[in-house]
Amino acid sequence: MKLITRDTDYALRAICFIAKQKEKIVSVSDLVEGLKLPKPFLRKLLQILNKKRILKSYKGQGGGFLLVEPAGKIFLVDLIEAFQGPLELNECFLKKMRCPQMKTCALREKIKRIEKYVFNQLSSITIASLLR
């Protein structure tokens, strides 16, 4: 299990790169050059970030991407949820059926506490804090 997938990692790099440009619209070409990522892959990530309203896209000459919110209001957990869904360490599935002991499982309760702790920690990390 990976806490942060490749898509989330690369999206985080793109967001940080854009945030460093201080409200300047950043083109895909600038991102590709600055991050050394394949253009089609990066475009896919940027479209998702635009759809999730983390980035705003500008079309045409001089177009590119800009953060919708200030870097201090974008949290790492927002990116994780955008690319990976809700944070879950264990889904308690067995052959596509829910475990019959899900409500009484002692391990599940411990895992839920760990999930809550991890979520709270990730919720405190902003893009701005990663730029320092």
Domain that holds residue 109: 6-131
Does residue 102 sit within a domain?
yes
Does residue 1 sit within a domain?
no
Locate tokens 């000459």: which residue?
61
Per-residue pLDDT at 103: 74
Does residue 13 sit within a domain?
yes
d(CA 46, CA 11): 7
Does residue 60 sit within a domain?
yes
Does residue 66 sit within a domain?
yes
* Domain total in the chain: 1
Per-residue pLDDT at 100: 75
Does residue 78 sit within a domain?
yes
Q: Which residues make beta-bridge pairs with 93?
A: 98
CATH, residue 19: 1.10.10.10
The residue ranges of the chain whose pLDDT is under 70 are 1, 90-98
Is the four-CA dihedral 113, 117, 122, 124 of positive or negative sign?
positive
